[in-house]
Amino acid sequence: MLGYIHTSYGKRLLSEVQSEIEKFHRGYGVSGIFYDEVSNDDANLPYYLQCKAAERRMGISHARQSAEPLEYAPRGGLLDWEACRAGQLIRVGRGGV
């Protein structure tokens, strides 16, 4: 089971996101977090690295590990969730598709 957390494109307070991560961990025993409204700006990468670090501190681990530092926001592109739901797995990065 995954917990759902929106990040307001990296503008949401990190303390709020970390509090929600803890809530999902303690209350539901989630195996991972789905981050929505993820920024595609590389300048926000440290924000998401801190989110991932908070997951690890609490012992949350995704079933599938990735070579990328962030499964949901690899450097150079983001997974377009809407396209995935439509059956088209694409990566969106700087300059579009």
Mean of the pLDDT values across residues 36-54? 91
pTM reported for the whole predicted model = 0.63
**More confident: 67 or 48:** 48
pLDDT in tens, 53-85: 999 898 886 544 444 444 444 444 444 444 444
pLDDT band at 22 (very low <50, low <70, confident <90, very high): very high
What is the predicted pLDDT for the residue at 62? 59
- What stretches of 1-97 adopt beta strand conformation (E)? 2-6, 32-36, 78-79, 91-92
